[in-house]
Amino acid sequence: MTSQQNQTASYDLTILVPVYNEEDNMQALSSRLAAYLPRAKMSSCVLFINDGSSDSSGEKIRAACAEHEHFFFIELACNTGLSSALKAGMDQVLSPYLAYIDADLQTAPEELDLLTPFLGDYELVTGVRANRKDTGFKKIQSRIANGFRRMMIKDGARDTGCPLKVMRTDMARSLPFFKGMHRFFPALIQLEGGRVKQVNVSHFPRVAGVSKFNLWNRLLSPFVDCLVVRWMQKRHIAYKIASNNLRHE
């Protein structure tokens, strides 16, 4: 796909928004993003990834893109999960930087401006939900999962579940992708020699729609994924070429 065919090449930052059955949030989400873009610190556009929604999310995404010139979308043929949706979006991005935010508005798109100033020094800048507005049960699950992950893979990340991140597009595309990998961006960035910055951001209660996460995909599945990442860390290949004669002077 050439830059003439893909309008994200005209921006410095593309905001990826995976959407799966979020019809009740789409109006508020579109309004917030449309209000943010003109005053964002970086020239930005939005790329919605409709992850096989079975409700009216797809129609509302198309309507939002018809209304706002800096909105774009792709639609997946069926529901593939968050990591796959993010991968699909990253494969389309031609801007030098990309961001990720969930469609549930539990984090604020305006706070991307807290993260983007660090992109000159870090390959990944990730939010940390400083005062989470989730239920006590969800907080306990996250605390256990985060503690286990830090113990196993030693990534130093305080809150990998925060859906507010910015990163270099080339680095994002170099990462090994698998189901559940969205929880391990810091560790995988570090594996590729990248630097990670953590910044406190706000967190808000969900006001519409239903969470797509449960005990399995929030707690049990990540335990298994930690073993995968630890294996990658142990088996990772890294080298530097000291000299060569490939170029003819």
Give the chain's mean pLDDT.
Answer: 86
> What pTM, to 2 d.p., does this model score?
0.81
Identify whether 242 is part of a domain.
no
Identify whether 180 is part of a domain.
yes
- From the CB of residue 148, how many other CB atoms can be counted at a distance below 10 Å? 14
* Contact (Cβ atoms closer than 8 angstroms) between residue 106 and residue 206: yes
Identify whether 74 is part of a domain.
yes
Identify whether 115 is part of a domain.
yes
pLDDT in tens, 27-77: 999 999 999 999 999 999 999 999 999 999 999 999 999 999 999 999 999
Identify whether 1 is part of a domain.
no
Q: Which residue has the tokens 């830059």?
A: 3
**CATH code assigned at 136:** 3.90.550.10
Residue ranges making up the domain that contains 69: 8-235
| Residue 131: φ, ψ to 5° | -140, 80
Identify whether 37 is part of a domain.
yes
Q: In the chain, how many domains are there?
A: 1
pLDDT in tens, 98-143: 999 999 999 999 999 999 999 999 999 999 988 765 556 566 666 7
For residue 56, CA distances in Å to 3, 22, 40, 84, 153 come to 31, 8, 29, 21, 40
